[in-house]
Structure 1
């Protein structure tokens, strides 16, 4: 398996990460996950644009251009012969003795990346998943795709221990997003989701869903809603790079709709599947 580490393509034995890397000390960095279908990067421009935006928001200058990073991702796909999988890429502020403030002497950000096979989650897509409501105690800059994910990790574990696939974050009585996904409710034929503020991540698949709603002429509204309103939705689904469009059939043990993926959710899934570079087939 080939990796990209600090400017070089290498195997695992060649990877060397300093203990003084600020990503290790502080989670001082940003990252992206880019899906690969049929050996091709999916929505690469959007993902790497967001990586640049996240870096700018934490006052970090990337050591490579967007096009150079896309070239790195494509080379990893080729070197690892990835058919259906994803690229993980992260950038930390760099190596410097531990101190909370930024390094006084400029350091070069450290870029690492890898590519792995990861099949489409067709079982979840076809059957739907259960989610658990968890209080959102994260910081106020969830729009930055940073390495600071402990709050997300704790929420995901709480959901997992309850037999659920995802945690549904609620902050001040409002449904926000999942621990690693965006969430959508459908009521009377209209799709609802939380507005893209600093309190959620504006997911790339979230943006694709908005575009698909426009193309399919499905009413779409960015509007806050409460957990009670969520339980009353006719359909519910989550989205992410790796989860695609996954129906939610139960929230806190409360059945959503009929307890099966709904008509509009299936319509969006079909539209999504037809615009990715991969034939629709079972695992």
Structure 2
């Protein structure tokens, strides 16, 4: 095998040549490292010695924009800052400047609906584990196409199964870091098993969360339940959904709202089970390990909660 020493011009040419289907959804990227916006997917790069790349040393958020409105922006920013603080990172710009960067990058992308992928990294400066080798924190913002599930998924529901992948320790589970190896393995597991999602379980048999989404149940007594937040990521959409669910308690459609452990028996006996996430909204689960849950179709509470979340998006902050 003969290797070629490439010139910068040859690299740029190869970047233009190397195309793959996923790039069609990459609309624009802002980078503090570049100091500007690019629209060519091949140029949407991060330095290889950025600790984000070789150590997963960074934090991120995925934020939905619908009809030019950014959903739960303040909540996502609070979680981003909290995650960063827990690993000793500072955002390289103010929240106001982050919002400006989003607005300008969205203008370049020229879309009203998008999924924003926002990363804050330790920055480039060496391949060791020493964070002080880095030259400083960086922010990378990628505007991508918003891909929603087809309506029939909400009518028919999805399937879940018990994960064999060990959950993260509580301290790391609460940080939305870029070290997502367990999450990747869970997604691989679900694809390999032919189910939509797998849910990880702690050493006591309590069910926690999916690879990128929260799981909640409507128990047999009509109580909407989420797992304790000490060993799961505090999902922004889940927390907002539970706020909106208070109206269903007042109307009598829910008995109450609780945070408590969820066991396998709770899932099997539940009236409804739901997956909640940024791109999912409130998605009904109708099968667990091949066994039907409830009526086997979208339940009334999942339907109403999904409607409440989507209506809430209409009042989100305009970019």
The TM-score normalised by the length of structure 2 is: 0.82
Gaps of 5+ in 1: 279-283
Q: CA deviation at 1:78?
A: 2.1
**Secondary structure of the corresponding residue to residue 135 of structure 1:** coil
Q: CA deviation at 1:77?
A: 2.0
Equivalent pair of 1:205/1:240 in contact (CA under 8 Å): yes
How far apart, in 2, do the equivalents of 1:16 and 1:258 lie? 47
In our comparison, the structure showing a higher alpha carbon Rg is 2
Q: Deviations over 1:152-173 (max 9, x none)?
A: 1111111112211111111110
Confirm whether residue 189 of structure 1 aligns to residue 215 of structure 2. no
Q: Which residue of structure 2 aligns with residue 49 of structure 1?
A: 78
How far apart, in 2, do the equivalents of 1:266 and 1:14 lie? 42
Gaps of 5+ in 2: 1-26
1:229-268 matches, cutoff 5 A: 229-268=266-305
Change (3 A) 1:71 1:126: farther
Question: Which 4+ residue blocks in structure 1 deviate beyond 3 angstroms?
Answer: 13-16
Richer in helix (by share): 2
Q: Which residue of structure 1 aligns with residue 156 of structure 2?
A: 127
Equivalent pair of 2:281/2:310 in contact (CA under 8 Å): no
Q: Which residue of structure 2 aligns with residue 5 of structure 1?
A: 31
Change (3 A) 1:162 1:224: same
1:1-283 matches, cutoff 5 A: 1-6=27-32, 7-12=35-40, 14-104=43-133, 107-121=135-149, 122-140=151-169, 141-172=172-203, 173-187=205-219, 188-197=221-230, 199-217=231-249, 218=254, 219-277=256-314
The TM-score normalised by the length of structure 1 is: 0.92
Q: Deviations over 1:65-103 (max 9, x none)?
A: 112112212222222122222100111101121111222
RMSD of aligned alpha carbons: 1.6
Deviates more, 1:222-231 or 1:25-34: 222-231
